[in-house]
Amino acid sequence: MRRFGLHWSAGGVVVAAGLLWVPVPTLISVCGLTALLVRRRLVERRDEEAAAVADVTVLAELTLLGLNAGLTFSKALALGSAHVVGPLQREVQGVLRRSSRSGPAVALGATRGRAAGLYLLAAQAAVTGAPIATAVQSFVEDRRADERAVALAAARRLPVRLLFPLALLILPGFMVLTVGPAVLSAAERLSG
């Protein structure tokens, strides 16, 4: 922690000195560096959010494993949340805290977030008395089907996306390699 503070104070001295001697380039550099750092943090947040959304299926599968092992939904959810990324883990911990205060069915039914579908199915199963494992199993199957559909759509778009590199980069080289020797031998025969 001390090294981090020293790093920032040394950077502040360099920026202050730069502003005194060459203010415009230093100001441009500081603004550019700040923009790069902000962009990097935004990309990290976007990637973390995408990982959290993708981990909802993993959370549901781990919860289902716990339910099939005989654990309660809350305990299975808590154990499953230990193996997912930070934002989803914090969301599940908040749901578990609320469920300990107001009851699982109320807390799960009122929660919105990345895994809202899982929470809602579990709340409905708890209220109706249906087996929660069956509801979680159907949620997992639906999520996997959605993931397969997205992957299939991406696979169908791939040939269209590869058309540009194929036409502009690979095809001219192929033409040079296949037609080039014939053109060179014909030119050699004509000149000689």
Tell me the pLDDT tens digit for each residue of 158-187.
988 888 887 888 888 888 888 989 888 988
> CA–CA separation, 95 vs 89, rounded Å?
10
Query: Is 120 part of any domain?
Result: yes
Closest residue by Cα to residue 56 from 138, 120, 117: 117
The total domain count for the chain is 1
Query: Is 161 part of any domain?
Result: no
The predicted pLDDT at position 69 comes to: 92
Local confidence band at 1 (pLDDT 50, 70, 90 cut-offs): very low
Q: Is the pLDDT of residue 84 over 50?
A: yes
Instruction: Count the Cβ atoms, other than its own, within 10 Å of residue 60.
Output: 27
Least confident piece of the model among 22-26, 58-62, 92-96, 153-157: 22-26
DSSP state of 69: T
Q: Cα torsion at 37, 42, 45, 47 (round to 10°)? A: -100
Q: Is the pLDDT of residue 151 over 60?
A: yes
Q: Is the pLDDT of residue 18 over 80?
A: no
Local confidence band at 62 (pLDDT 50, 70, 90 cut-offs): very high
Q: Is the pLDDT of residue 2 over 70?
A: no
What range does the domain containing 95 cover? 2-148
Overall average pLDDT of the 31-40 stretch: 86
Q: Average pLDDT over the chain, rounded to whole?
A: 84
The predicted pLDDT at position 10 comes to: 65
Written as one string, the DSSP assignment of 152-186 is HHHHHHHHHHHHHHIIIIIHHHHHHHHHHHHHHHH
> CA–CA separation, 55 vs 151, rounded Å?
16
Query: Is 172 part of any domain?
Result: no
Q: Is the pLDDT of residue 88 over 70?
A: yes
Q: Supply the pTM of this predicted model.
A: 0.65
User: For 57, left (φ over 0), alpha (ψ -120 to 50), or beta?
Assistant: alpha
Query: Is 63 part of any domain?
Result: yes
Query: Is 107 part of any domain?
Result: yes
Query: Is 162 part of any domain?
Result: no
Query: Is 23 part of any domain?
Result: yes
Query: Is 76 part of any domain?
Result: yes
